[in-house]
Structure 1
Amino acid sequence: MKKPSRRALAGMAAIVVGLSSPGAASAQIPGAIDTGTVVITNSDRLLVRVNPAGAAATQVTGTIQNTTGTTFRCATPGVRGNEYPGQVTEAMIVARSMKYYSKNVFVPVGGVELDVEAPITLDPLAFGSLLDFFPTGSFNKPVGDTRSEYMGIYAAQTDARINGHTGDPKVSNATAFNVGGNATVNWTAALGTPASGIRTDFDAGAMFYCRTTSGSPERHYVFAGYETGSAPTI
């Protein structure tokens, strides 16, 4: 008798897990699964500021002010407990991404592994923040208008990166960091090199994924700031 393959065993295990998982009880409702994380997009618990920068600037700087007594961990979560940076990019891309997360759950890039023999993960080990945080890997099967916006943000962020308009913000040279209660931290993001020509001036935005480190339940947030002081009109 031929033994089942590892892939077949993995499939059977997935079925068993699915049948025993809490989400399976409400599976009769389309999309009623408990994967992904709902992120809060309209909170002012952390205030992100982006300092003005001209066309000749090689970096963008700013601050994050914690208006509460609770410590926050600012790091974009990945699979297997990995942590990735926030992002500095064009202000319109940040505004579009904030709107996207107000309507969709966050799913880490590589959050679904399809094959135990050759896992297909888009964990952004070599890709940088392009795939870490923005809605390029946060929605597994986008449809309709959601898919259109998903692909639009992906394309815009790709162009911004090519134009040298993106960077990973760091606090004390770390892309993952804590912001203590009632504290203010300074961040700096070195801008990438344009693919051709010189870097053009742009209105910068900064976006950070942060979570509370104490209390229950743990809450997840996305915070944004803009060089002009307010989000551009979408």
Structure 2
Amino acid sequence: MREIWNKVDEYLNFNLLKEDRVLEDVLKANHEAGLPSIDVSPAQGKFLYLLAKLKGAKHILEIGTLGGYSSIWMGRALPEDGLLITLEYSQKHAQVAKENIKKAGLETKIEIIVGPALETLPTLKDIGYPSFDLIFIDADKPNNPHYLKWALEYSHPGTVIIGDNVVRNGRVVDEKSVDPGVKGSRELIDVLAKESRIEATALQTVGSKGYDGFVIGVVK
């Protein structure tokens, strides 16, 4: 099945995504810097771009930068006066992302804040970022429920919240799993199931990144 998924991704990418040297160079730079190959796929990156466009997002928050691949996709959807704040734990990853973002010509639209997200999130309002139109959660999975709670704090009616990698190759259904990523995904979904401030759903995905899925919600 994985071979078929890859072929379908290749077919869709060839037809629906234009050749993009900048993004190809970003993935190459990430690989050469030794960053893990866990970026969103090109199709998923364009999906994020289109969501930001559909939303008309002017202010975006990303939790988990890595090398800035998804940051660049979403940053391209911003208007001239738009801004994306992206939070990254690793100084090394942040430096790679900074160079990638500069090469993409988005250094005036994307700001990287370095440090543990659960420490930097409480500071955003104090430094002038009270709310966001779109929030993308794609960091360490055990902290997903905590990131969601902060995302809700930085939302307004209509804010779109997306959480990546929640299906975990189907293991999300294993209530006895001790895997931290699985537990984090289950806890995230548990919070969404009980949270009255947001309407949400989840979709399973297959492709070059394997079998996984994401949650998406809109704040009331």
After TM superposition, the score normalised by the length of structure 2 is 0.25
The structure whose RCO (Cα within 8 Å, separation 6+) is larger is: 1
Whichever structure has more helix as a proportion of its residues is: 2
After TM superposition, the score normalised by the length of structure 1 is 0.24
Q: Which has the larger radius of gyration?
A: 1
